[in-house]
Chains A and B, each alone.
Chain A
Amino acid sequence: MPDGLIVSGGGDTAVETVELYGVAGQLELLWREAAALRSELGALEAPSGLSAPIAAWRAHAELDRAVALVHQAEVQAQFFSGALARAADGYDAVESSAQRLLGGAIDSLGGLIGMLAPAFIPGIAITAASFAALSSAERNRLLSDPRVVGAVRAGVGGADDALLARAGVPAPLAGMLGENGLGLTGLPLAAGTLATIGGIFGAFSPAGVRVAGSQPLPALAAPTGFADRLSRIPNPAQQDGAQLTVETYRMPDGELRAEVYIAGTVDFDPWAEGEPWDMGSNLANAVGPGSGSYEAVLAAMREAGLDSDTPVQFTGYSQGAATAARLAASGDFDVRGLVTFGGPTGQIEVPSSVPAVIVEHTDDLVAALGGPQTNAHAVIVERYATEGMDFDGSELMPAHRVGAYGQTAHLMDDSDDARLVATGSTIAGFTGGGVLVSRTAYEVERISSSSSAVGAGCR
């Protein structure tokens, strides 16, 4: 595409089955209406007796012709409607099988790597030494190479199988337990193992959370586009530590609705204290609900007067994206929409009932750490953000920067891709037409488990 965006409306769906079903449905409507018209035309009685003028007989001859023609349209539309629906069913079945086969292949490779891990140690040491010898620009270029990022994404998908193989679990059993079987292991197993190991060394210690402060923000109209939405995610460094913003709107029918914007990781130190947006939450988000940032959003939502019945949309960037996806996946809220930018969301299964737009740069290593994208119903937007970029003097992993996603968001707003326009319109319509009630930025902090404040697991 000329704007560099790659939009897919169904994961890696090669054929747009949604559109096929749409055309099939349109043709079904056509043949049903044609059938009704034919039936009513047939009920018009021809004039009786010899008194009717010849023109009346001519009119009925034309009417008979119309009946035959509309019957022809009806039969053809009925045939093609059925054929298209069957074709769409077939594509879905084939693609599902292909994904299963591909996932199985990645898992098998992961298992093999796990079994042979000791043999890889010298190679890994040489690779690490070579990587260290690179200049920072070369390292940055390598970490932003879509081929490397793609390999990391695939590797994350097979990480659990590598761990199971190292633990001596037979490959067939590991495959049966994995994300392409019963779904009992997958990325959560790998991330959970890492978190447990980290915990032994005092890292990633969980704790409760409490709202440390809130600040009313200037009033704005409801968000209209993707760039507008992204710009509302707070920057904690510039907003007194606020990690999320909650907007509430009163709709014309009196209903209260909310938009929640969630920031990315604030503290990258594994031994960080006090900050819910830390590395521990990144790992916890990969395992399941209940990370520090997850609980922090809940605390802020409660503070804003929202409950599980309040219709809400989540927008997040990086860790905020994963947190938003976890909240949508929990099923505990009335989630009406989800927009994520650069988040490791691949293995977080968002319900298909939630309109979702997932934005991932193909050269963004952080997004790739979420593993292969499994949200087949979501509109996935990809872009090679650093294509042709000079990495000398650039920031680390420029494709993950909020500025790069801002450019993509503007391209999305200008895009005429039907899937993007349709889902974008649904998401914008959620609070469009509503009157802003409040717009507040929240800072939430971790507290020690001995404190009496509301914390994780206490709600």
Chain B
Amino acid sequence: MTSSQDAALAAALEHQYRQLAVFAARAERLRTLVPPPTSLWRGAAQRAFEAATQSIGTAVDETRSALLSAQAAMRTAIAEVESRA
């Protein structure tokens, strides 16, 4: 592979890396929209509401975690491409 192809790849990966940082921040903001515990409900309805919001919260947390892992892997990939030069 030519160094110019590596440079283009590194630039593309760098661009995706920056996008991932923005997406991770958006996932973090998404977490603030998950409704907190409330006294609106009683008994089984209360448990169902808590289970639902907890499940949504967990999915949002794991989304953010996956995006951070993707970002870390992307950083490694960029370093690897740059080391070829």
Contacts and interface: CB of A to CB of B under 8 A. Distances in A.
Contacts of B19: 44
Nearest to B52: A80
Given A23-B40, A69-B59, A73-B30, 5 more contacts: A26-B33, A51-B5, A66-B66, A66-B70, A76-B56
Contact of A70 (B53, B59, B81): B59
A389 interface: no
A69 B24 CA distance: 13
Contacts of A59: 16, 20, 69-71, 73-74, 77
Interface of A: 15-16, 19-20, 23, 26-27, 29-30, 33-34, 37, 40-41, 44, 47, 51-56, 58-60, 62-63, 65-66, 69-70, 72-73, 76-77, 80
B51 to A, nearest CB: 10
B59 A73 contact: yes
Interface string B56-85: 100110110011011101101100110000
Contacts of B16: 44, 59
Nearest to A84: B49
A55 B56 CA distance: 29
Interface residues of B, number: 38
B44 interface: no
Contacts, number: 111
Contact of B59 (A16, A27, A72): A72
A457 B33 CA distance: 53
Interface string B1-35: 10001100100110010011001001101100111
Task: List the 5 closest A-B pairs by CB distance, nearest first.
Answer: A62-B70, A59-B73, A56-B77, A55-B77, A66-B66
B60 A73 contact: yes
A44 to B, nearest CB: 6
Given A19-B40, A20-B40, A80-B52, A51 B74 contact: no
Nearest to B2: A51
Contact of B30 (A23, A34, A53, A65): A34
Contact of A69 (B12, B53, B62): B62
Contacts of A70: 27, 30, 59-60, 63
Interface of B: 1, 5-6, 9, 12-13, 16, 19-20, 23, 26-27, 29-30, 33-35, 38, 40, 52-53, 55-56, 59-60, 62-63, 66-67, 69-71, 73-74, 76-77, 80-81
Contacts of B74: 55-56, 59
20 contacts: A15-B40, A27-B35, A27-B56, A29-B33, A30-B30, A30-B56, A33-B33, A37-B27, A37-B63, A44-B20, A54-B77, A59-B69, A62-B67, A65-B66, A66-B27, A66-B63, A66-B66, A69-B63, A70-B59, A72-B59
B71 to A, nearest CB: 7
Contact of A63 (B13, B52, B66): B66
A69 B71 CA distance: 16
A69 B66 contact: yes
A37 B29 CA distance: 11
B12 to A, nearest CB: 7
A76 B80 CA distance: 39
B28 to A, nearest CB: 11
B77 A76 contact: no
Contact of A23 (B38, B62, B81): B38
Nearest to A33: B30
A150 B81 CA distance: 81
Contacts of A34: 30, 60
B6 to A, nearest CB: 7
